[in-house]
Amino acid sequence: MSDDRIELRGLRARGRHGVLPAERELGQEFVVDVSLTLDTRPAAAADDLSRTVDYGSLAGRLVAAVEEDPVDLLETLAERLAGICLAEPVVEAAEVVVHKPSAPVPHPFADVAVKIRRSRL
């Protein structure tokens, strides 16, 4: 597996995920970080976008996935996003972090997040 990475951090999208009725009704902002493992040498050698990941296009698909089809758990959303990343043919592995900065936690906190790493088998 390559040591090369493409990282997209702080991608923001509004979704209606959560187990509480108010979360589904009102929605809230989610923040997504992805780190993609791939061999960037073919793209660099040819200076060819088609040999790497178009992170602008990927960002659009990730935002759409956050905005659509509410789920209860951040774990479920993270799996959905990892699947989108791994659908890119050149991606060997994806680390996905889904942050829920406005999670319904009754104490002061900086962040709630779920982090997963998935790879092709």
List active site positions: 100
Distance CA 6, CA 18 (A): 29
The contacts found for 60-65 with CB under 8 angstroms, 24 or more apart, are 62/8, 62/11, 62/13, 62/32, 62/34, 63/11, 63/13
State the pairing for strand pair 5-15/113-119: unpaired
Q: How far is CA 40 from the centre of its chain?
A: 20
Residue with tokens 């995920």: 17
Strand partners, 33: 97
